[in-house]
Amino acid sequence: MGISKRALDIPPFIVMDVLERAQELQAQGRSVIHLEVGEPDFDTPEPIKAAAAQALAQGQTHYTHSLGIKPLRQAIADHYRARYGVEVDPERVLVTSGTSPGMLLMFAALLETGDEIILSDPCYACYPNFVSFCGGQPVYVPVAEDDAFQYRPEEIQKRLSPRTKAVVINSPANPTGQLLTPERMAAIAALAPGKSGPPYVISDEIYHGLTYEGEEHTILEYTDRAFVLGGFSKLYAMTGWRLGYLIVPPHYLRPLQKMHQNFAICAPSMAQWAGIAALTQCQKEVERMVGRYNARRMHIVDGLRRLGFSIPVTPQGAFYLLTSCAHLDRDDYRLAFDILEKAGVAVTPGRDFGPGGHGFLRFSYCNSLENISEGLRRLEGYLKGGCRAL
C-alpha cells in the first residue's frame, strides 16, 4: 500500500491500547479504575492558568523565537541553579512542545544509521522506538528488581562499542519509580571512552520534583557532556499544555534549532508564559500535590503487598511501581487485559517497557486514594475468583 517500513514497524504504545479499551468499556456503561496511565489527576495550578489568561489578553498568540522566549529559558536556567547548584547558560536551552518532540529532535541530531543508544531494560516504552525511528540501534542493559531496577555501571561498560553515542538515564524512572544513586550517576558520567570518545549521557528528568525518599540529582552535577530532557507535564499537572525543554551541549544547539524551525516552528506561546509561572509561583501547589502522591504511593504499595505482590524495594519517586505478576500468569499482556475485562481495573503490561518487563505489571497511582482503594478491592476479588495461574 506504499506505507513506509518505519511507519509499519513501530510498535504500539501498549498503555494507550489499555486506556482505549478501558474507555470503550466505560462507553458501554462499565466502571473502570484507571491505574495504567501516568497522567496527573490534579487540575493545573491557578497561577499557571492565570499567566496563560494574561498572555492571551495581552495578545501573546503569535510565533515566538524558535528556541523559546528568553524569560522562560532564563527561568529554566535559574531553576537549575537554585535546585541543583549548577550553572546553565540559557543559550543552551531549547523549549519544545513537550518532551517527546524534544526527544525526537535530539535523537535525530545524535544518530547516524546503526549508531547505538544504551537503555536500561525495562525502560520507558517509547525510548527504543524513538531510537529505531531515527536509524539507531537500542542496546539493552538488564536491571534487577531486587537492585531497585538501577543500572550497574560496569554492565554498561561491557556494552559500549565504537558505535555507542549515548546512555539514557531516567531518575525518578518510568516504569519503576526508582532513583539512581549519586554514586552510580557519577560512575555513568565517568564511563571509559570508546574509540569515538566517552558516550553522552541523556538524562530524562521529566519526573524531577516527584521524589518521596532520597534525593534526585541532575546529570549536570556530574558532567556537561549531557543532554537533559525536562518539562512541565508531570510535576505541574500540565500534560495538555505541551511544554518541555532540552538542555544541550552548545555545538548541538544550532542543528536542533534548525530542525525545530522546520518541523515545529516553536512551542505554544501562551504555554511558554504559563511555564514561567509554574517555575516561579507554584511551590505551595506542588508541595500539596507531592504530599498526596506520597500518601497514594504508600497505600498502593501496602495494598499490593497484602495481595501477594512482591515489591522488594519501595519506589522512591514518579508515580509508578513495577511488580512481578509471574506467580499469577507469565503472560503479563494477557493478564492485564483479563484484569481489565473481569475486574474493571486498568493496569499496564510490563512488556510495554522492554524484554525485561515481561512477567511484570506497572501500576500508576495518578488517582485518588478512594479510587486506588476500590481498585485494590476489585483486584482482591479477581484474585480470589480464580485468575489464570499458568
| Residue 264 per-residue DSSP state | T
Residues 1-31 as b/e (b if ≥16 CB within 10 A, e otherwise) read: eeeeeeeeeeeeebbebbbebbeeeeeeeee
Phi-psi region of 386 (alpha: psi -120 to 50; beta: other; left: phi over 0): left
What is the number of alpha carbons within 13 Å of residue 230 lying toward its C-beta? 28
Strands of the 348-349 sheet, one edge to the other:
320-324, 360-364, 348-349
The tens digit of pLDDT for each residue in 159-201 reads: 999 999 999 999 999 999 999 999 999 999 999 765 556 899 9
pLDDT for the residue 390: 31
- C-alpha–C-alpha distance, residues 95 and 289, integer Å: 25
**How far are the Cα atoms of 47, 52, 53, 120, 232 from residue 277, in angstroms, in the given order?**
6, 9, 12, 34, 11
Residue 131 near residue 11, CB atoms below 8 Å: no
Strands of the 93-96 sheet, one edge to the other:
93-96, 244-247, 226-231, 200-204, 164-170, 116-121, 137-142
Backbone angles phi, psi at 146, to 5 degrees: -75, -5
- C-alpha–C-alpha distance, residues 12 and 352, integer Å: 9
- What is the helix, strand, coil percentage profile of the chain, to 5? 45, 15, 40
Residues 86-125 as b/e (b if ≥16 CB within 10 A, e otherwise) read: bebebebbbbbbbbbbbbbbbbbbbbeeebbbbbbbbbbb
CATH architecture of the domain formed by 60-281: 3-Layer(aba) Sandwich (3.40)
Nearest Cα to Cα of residue 171 among 138, 131, 141, 210 = 210
pLDDT for the residue 2: 87
Cell numbers for 33: 479504575
pTM, two decimal places: 0.94
The listed CATH number (1.10.340.30, 3.40.50.720, 3.30.565.10, 3.90.1150.10) that belongs to domain 5-43+284-384: 3.90.1150.10
The tens digit of pLDDT for each residue in 201-234 reads: 999 999 999 999 999 999 999 999 999 999 999 9
Nearest Cα to Cα of residue 313 among 119, 183, 173 = 173
Say which residues have a Cβ less than 8 Å from residue 27's Cβ, sequence separation at least 6: none
Enclosing H/E stretch for 159: helix 153-159
Please count the other Cβ atoms lying within 10 Å of the Cβ belonging to residue 377: 14
Q: What would the DSSP string read from start to end of 300-331? A: HHHHHHHTT---SS---BTTEEEEE-TTT-S-
CATH code 3.90.1150.10 region(s) in the chain: 5-43+284-384
Burial of 157 (0-12, 13-18, 19+ CB in 10 A): middle
- C-alpha–C-alpha distance, residues 145 and 323, integer Å: 8
pLDDT for the residue 217: 97
Residue 158 near residue 303, CB atoms below 8 Å: no
Write out residues in the chain with pLDDT < 50, as ranges. Answer: 389-390
